[in-house]
Amino acid sequence: MDEVKLRCELGVLTRPDGSVLFSEGETTVVAGIYGPVESKINKTLVEKACVEAYFRPKSGLPGVKDRLNESMIRNVCEAVIAVALFPRTAVVVVVQEMQNNGQLISCALNATCLALLNSGIDMKCMYAAVTCFLDRSDSIVLIPPADEREIKGSFMFVFDSVEKTILASHTEGSFSIDQYKDALSLCREESTNIFNFFKKALTIK
Residues 6+ apart with CB under 8 A from 64: none
**Half-sphere exposure (Cβ direction) of 78: Cα atoms closer than 13 Å:** 15
Q: What is the pTM of this model?
A: 0.93
> What are the extents of the domains in the chain?
6-203
Q: What is the pLDDT of residue 39?
A: 84
Reported as a single tens digit per residue, the pLDDT across 140-175 is 999 988 888 899 999 999 999 999 999 999 999 999
68: part of which helix (H) or strand (E)? Answer: helix 64-80
| Residue 32 buriedness (CB in 10 A; 0-12 / 13-18 / 19+) | buried
Q: What is the pLDDT of residue 60?
A: 86
Range with lowest mean pLDDT among 1-5, 50-54, 198-202:
1-5
Is the pLDDT at 41 greater than 90? The verdict is no
Phi, psi of 136 (to 5 degrees): -65, -20
Which CATH architecture best describes the domain 6-203?
2-Layer Sandwich (3.30)
Mean local confidence (pLDDT), 120-131: 96
pLDDT category of residue 2 using cuts at 50, 70 and 90: low
Is the distance from CB of 47 to CB of 67 less than 8 angstroms?
A: no
Reported as a single tens digit per residue, the pLDDT across 8-26 is 999 999 999 999 999 999 9
Reported as a single tens digit per residue, the pLDDT across 65-118 is 899 999 999 999 999 999 999 999 999 999 999 999 989 999 999 999 999 999
pLDDT category of residue 123 using cuts at 50, 70 and 90: very high
Please report the DSSP string for 116-163 in residue order.
Answer: HHHHT--BS--EEEEEEEEETTS-EESSPPSSGGGEEEEEEEEEETTT
Is the distance from CB of 74 to CB of 105 less than 8 angstroms?
A: no
